Structure 1
């Protein structure tokens, strides 16, 4: 397996070596802080918490980490904690060569917790830079928090229970956070965590969504007041702008602010959500792929991959991702709905009916089973049973489940051919400002009503920048002006570095245009005027630089020149040799002899 990014790392959960099992929370908190600290280094790709903690308590090899997380290095360590001393042992392993290239032991006073987190994070970053190449590292990676150490340790305990993400432990964490808030009312973290807990319970149906949102609001507002510029606060502000205020421009601004503070998979996933709402599915896929790269064991990331394939009407390809999401988190409520829809939209009506009838683990009040059966009966033309389910769904319109009820009533009526009735429900949902309206924009089942004037008008009110209904731009003859060329050259360079697109041997001009969201003609002009290169020259320059880095690595000494060239993105011996000689003025063989 070829590692996509040499500057990539995972931090596995630190092992608790103390006799007191309660110190588990401290180990998890330390691991999470180191992950967050390393994620601040722009050039470094850091596996997210969910995927790192997937390996907690498991004995794993370097080969398994390489294959499952696709990282070049990983950190493992342990903590032995007593009243007056803390010993942290850290070691770094190269997954390609499978060797420990350094280890270090820190003996510290437990009271110096913030200094310890920063010192360990900086030490890891420095050793990583020595091993993999240049990284821009700030003087401090972990800023001290202005609360007493005993309060912070109590906070880590609350965080430990919260991140178990089941009802009992979330409620337990709330008790700890509320106690901290009484003692330290100006500490923003517990407010954000209570908000996160309620959001999770509302999303997964552990509480009615409306009730969860109402309970979360005061905590979120206080967190925003205390710390408006953190990544987590900006992300929450982004959610509000999109799903409550329907202002996508501001939602993007806050999400991009969060991304600047700390590149993380949930932020990439969030931006993918917004692109989906607008109908920009190719771009949404690009951001989701980045989220999956950072967190390949996130159930939500796998669900969304399946959801995007569903929206693109690739139903058979969607099902494995939706099933994988349930395998990772069986309580996730979204995948079952789309698995059933994928079945009946591929003609497997009876299979879909059986699937919905036998649903397990999804609460009845979630309405997935009820709505799923209603859609099956509609598509199978069993009107008696369908109408019975419709009446039950209508009973939920005055409840906290009104958003789900409206969604299913819209879909069922479209399947029945009752288009006016379906649009009546869309209008009511719009008047109630329900977020489901935004998701109708790309829903395949509503295709029969998408070009009806009433539906189009609602969609344009909800999403003014709607690519499905906006008139196509009449591109000016001059294409890009000088300011736009300057902007997009920077954007393209960042995209090439973030996604390493040049490693794809089949990369096309069209692929670049989808990332930049520009027509291919514009991108062609951009390459010509912004870089003085055509497409092949531009991409092959990245591949050549990649080759020159890879060919010097000890791990590649046994490979042929062309094997390294192919790993660097070249797909032709002739193209590689010709381009190499043109740029370097010599052959690859002579070049290697001169530098060895």
Structure 2
């Protein structure tokens, strides 16, 4: 696979001081540089989880190239004393395996925000010199209006919550609460406490209801203090989807977050929303982008397996789910779907053995009980199945109601108790439980998709869900004005994110698969939304790409047509015709006038 030239990973800076306090700063500096570089739209930046996978590990350039698929990586170290901080930074080309830039910064540790911005800008400038043009803002790290001592305490609290276990999360939350007491208008600790509780609820370290209830006030305060950051927009997107069931607004906030910063968790979130709608191919495309940016994030591998499960490709799903557990054995979701994939692929006894062997967090979150009960339903072991159902029902009045209802719905679906399933789903709907949205694409509930009671609830929860409308997608009028506006924005985002135009064999059908619309709808979309046909639309992107590439120092030795082919064209005649049509001059004239 070709490594994108404009791609970079920032490995955790090494603490060269004996003071543990400096460890917090090293991790914080690394994160801040990752976040700063991620603001550069033309640059693909490996996310935190995958960068920190290599913390305290000795790695070679070839290993980083192979495992993170980046052309460049940063490594550095920090040594501090009371009045002096020495930061060394090196930039390594993974393709040719050489250090092409290094710098030592001797600075006053009190100027922490200026240091972060200065180093981020230095890295961006040196990278631009090496890989070609990228647009860089004047500032990449905005200063924070808090004293340096309090900011260091904040980094300490974040250091502990990012360890992701219960004990350290609580320790980090308490430190961050103290930071809030000292600087009540500093939004970051509110967002991080919210994150800590959400993580604990998601991983089963706290009951989900309790965790989300504790998280909410901190998120609300953070949104008042800083509503326009990418993290705030992402949190708003999650609220609109899972709490308000408003997918239109959820997409709006998620895409705003993506405009500010390309991050794997934003791509994963959009993939989640597409999954709710049953748009599994489009969800898969966004998930692949998340994996590209964060290949060592357990949740990304889990979600890839989950999508294959939803597509009923059970044997394909299992390795991804197992990889997720290998990266994070505490992640509670993969065991559920490993067992269900075994069950639905005809290995019911193996599935029963698997669920029966689960220990630890999976016992607490009902996976063992629910999974075994599903197996008994599948195996027609009526007495054991009924015992399992009765035990699951005892949890309906507890904090585990969400998980209990999920398993009760799935077991009754396997038993063919359609009316009971609709009754249970109605309970979930009346209690506004988020599980409603996850039921929509479930393969186990596939037989109920034509059942009126089920369709009615799904349409109430997801009013724009095309799966349950009477063939709205195929109405004679094709796309209306609002749909054209929606899909033009989606298509532009997809073209920017995936650079589909670089594929010389790109077809109208390919674009349609990304939007999950019939091909004739996309043809109409291009005509009405862009006033272009397919060739005109795609070749406009290719001409723009050519204009950028042909002026790069690294391409000076290439012919005009070599650069055109690299930009996605596959015909000299088409290239020359479209270039002159769009630019009004020939490629040769353009090159001479810009040399």
Aligned-residue offset at 1:462? 0.8
Counterpart residue number, 1:186 = 185
Counterpart residue number, 1:160 = 159
Tell me if the contact between 2:301 and 2:324 (Cα under 8 Å) persists in the aligned partners: yes
With over 3 angstroms needed to count, the CA separation of the structure-2 counterparts of 1:494 and 1:398, relative to structure 1, is: closer
Tell me if the contact between 1:89 and 1:106 (Cα under 8 Å) persists in the aligned partners: yes
Aligned-residue offset at 1:46? 1.1
Helix, strand or coil for the counterpart of 1:449?
helix
Helix, strand or coil for the counterpart of 2:140?
coil
Deviation string 1:533-559 (CA, Å, 9 cap, x unpaired) is 764675567668768977998989999
**CA separation in 1, counterparts of 2:418 and 2:475?**
39
Counterpart residue number, 1:301 = 300
**CA separation in 2, counterparts of 1:205 and 1:477?**
48
Tell me if the contact between 2:466 and 2:473 (Cα under 8 Å) persists in the aligned partners: no
Tell me if the contact between 2:50 and 2:297 (Cα under 8 Å) persists in the aligned partners: yes
With over 3 angstroms needed to count, the CA separation of the structure-2 counterparts of 1:141 and 1:424, relative to structure 1, is: same
1:192-591 alignment runs, 5 A limit: 192-473=191-472, 492-504=491-503, 507-525=506-524, 527=526, 535=534, 539=538, 575-576=570-571, 579=574
Aligned-residue offset at 1:472? 2.6
Helix, strand or coil for the counterpart of 1:450?
helix
Aligned-residue offset at 1:484? 8.2
Aligned-residue offset at 1:424? 1.1
Aligned-residue offset at 1:422? 1.4
Helix, strand or coil for the counterpart of 1:84?
coil
Deviation string 1:69-108 (CA, Å, 9 cap, x unpaired) is 1112111111111111111111111222222211111110
Moved more, 469-478 or 26-35: 469-478
Tell me if the contact between 2:74 and 2:89 (Cα under 8 Å) persists in the aligned partners: yes
Tell me if the contact between 2:335 and 2:362 (Cα under 8 Å) persists in the aligned partners: no
Counterpart residue number, 2:9 = 10
Deviation string 1:124-162 (CA, Å, 9 cap, x unpaired) is 111122222222211111111111000001111111111
Tell me if the contact between 1:509 and 1:520 (Cα under 8 Å) persists in the aligned partners: yes
1:70-149 alignment runs, 5 A limit: 70-149=69-148
**CA separation in 2, counterparts of 1:526 and 1:461?**
28
Aligned-residue offset at 1:374? 0.5
Moved more, 514-523 or 223-232: 514-523
Tell me if the contact between 1:96 and 1:555 (Cα under 8 Å) persists in the aligned partners: no
Aligned-residue offset at 1:217? 2.0
Tell me if the contact between 2:564 and 2:575 (Cα under 8 Å) persists in the aligned partners: no
Tell me if the contact between 1:15 and 1:27 (Cα under 8 Å) persists in the aligned partners: yes
With over 3 angstroms needed to count, the CA separation of the structure-2 counterparts of 1:550 and 1:136, relative to structure 1, is: closer
With over 3 angstroms needed to count, the CA separation of the structure-2 counterparts of 1:481 and 1:464, relative to structure 1, is: closer
Aligned-residue offset at 1:114? 0.3
Moved more, 231-240 or 532-541: 532-541
Counterpart residue number, 1:37 = 36
Helix, strand or coil for the counterpart of 2:228?
coil
**CA separation in 1, counterparts of 2:395 and 2:363?**
12
RMSD after superposition: 3.2
**CA separation in 2, counterparts of 1:186 and 1:358?**
48
Deviation string 1:374-406 (CA, Å, 9 cap, x unpaired) is 011101111111111111101111111111111
Tell me if the contact between 1:151 and 1:180 (Cα under 8 Å) persists in the aligned partners: yes
Tell me if the contact between 1:97 and 1:555 (Cα under 8 Å) persists in the aligned partners: no
With over 3 angstroms needed to count, the CA separation of the structure-2 counterparts of 1:199 and 1:47, relative to structure 1, is: same
Deviation string 1:180-202 (CA, Å, 9 cap, x unpaired) is 11111111111111111111111
**CA separation in 2, counterparts of 1:281 and 1:414?**
22
**CA separation in 2, counterparts of 1:235 and 1:485?**
25
Aligned-residue offset at 1:331? 0.5
Helix, strand or coil for the counterpart of 1:347?
coil
With over 3 angstroms needed to count, the CA separation of the structure-2 counterparts of 1:507 and 1:335, relative to structure 1, is: farther
Helix, strand or coil for the counterpart of 2:170?
helix
Aligned-residue offset at 1:118? 0.6
**CA separation in 2, counterparts of 1:380 and 1:70?**
45
Aligned-residue offset at 1:496? 2.3
Aligned-residue offset at 1:495? 2.6
**CA separation in 1, counterparts of 2:487 and 2:414?**
43
Tell me if the contact between 1:78 and 1:90 (Cα under 8 Å) persists in the aligned partners: yes
**CA separation in 2, counterparts of 1:346 and 1:565?**
48
Aligned-residue offset at 1:172? 1.1
Aligned-residue offset at 1:285? 1.6
Counterpart residue number, 2:173 = 174
**CA separation in 1, counterparts of 2:271 and 2:369?**
29
Helix, strand or coil for the counterpart of 2:211?
helix
Tell me if the contact between 2:132 and 2:553 (Cα under 8 Å) persists in the aligned partners: no
Unaligned runs of 5+ in 1: none
**CA separation in 1, counterparts of 2:423 and 2:476?**
43
**CA separation in 2, counterparts of 1:481 and 1:58?**
55
Counterpart residue number, 1:60 = 59
With over 3 angstroms needed to count, the CA separation of the structure-2 counterparts of 1:490 and 1:465, relative to structure 1, is: closer
**CA separation in 1, counterparts of 2:31 and 2:135?**
21
Tell me if the contact between 2:418 and 2:448 (Cα under 8 Å) persists in the aligned partners: yes
Moved more, 465-474 or 475-484: 475-484
